[in-house]
Structures are given as C-alpha cells and as structure tokens.
Amino acid sequence: MPAGAVAPGPGTGPDAWGYFALPVLHSDRLVGKVDATADRRHGRLTVHAIHEDVPFTPEVTRAVHEELHDLASWLSLTAEGLR
C-alpha cells in the first residue's frame, strides 16, 4: 500500500474511502479522510468525499477546505467538489 494510503476499517466496503484516502490532521489528532483524485489533463482536483471520523467544527471544515484549495494550487489544478 502506498505511503499515506488508508485502508478501510473492519466492516466497511472495499471502496468505502476510495482507492487512496488522504488523512486529515487537525492539531495533533487524525480527524478524518479525504477521497480526491487529480485529473491533470483537465486541470482538476476533484474531491469526491470528506469523511469525518469525528464531527468537524466549522473551524475544522474551513481549514480542510483551505488546505484542499492550497493543495490544488500547489499542483496547478482547480479544486472541485467542495461544498
């Protein structure tokens, strides 16, 4: 499994979090996972799902969205799928 990949936990389907889930770290805690794909041909970072291991506060939600936009920018892509 690639470094950073997260395997689904017991009792979940094989595609519960997508093929490659990015961990969400807030302060010193892992609080969720992001299922996203980079489509360089079309210039998009598509966020399919954000899985909350614990309920996100509005502050955490904003921080996750900002980080995903920063990641897309760093990759020279446009973030899509964020609500």
Residue pLDDT, tens place only, 37-64 = 999 999 999 999 999 999 999 999 999 9
Residue in the structure block whose two tokens are 């992001």: 34
Residue 77, pLDDT > 70, answer yes
Longest dimension (CA), the chain: 37
Tell me how far apart the alpha carbons of residues 50 and 65 are, in angstroms, rounded to a whole number: 10
Has this prediction a pTM greater than 0.95?
A: no
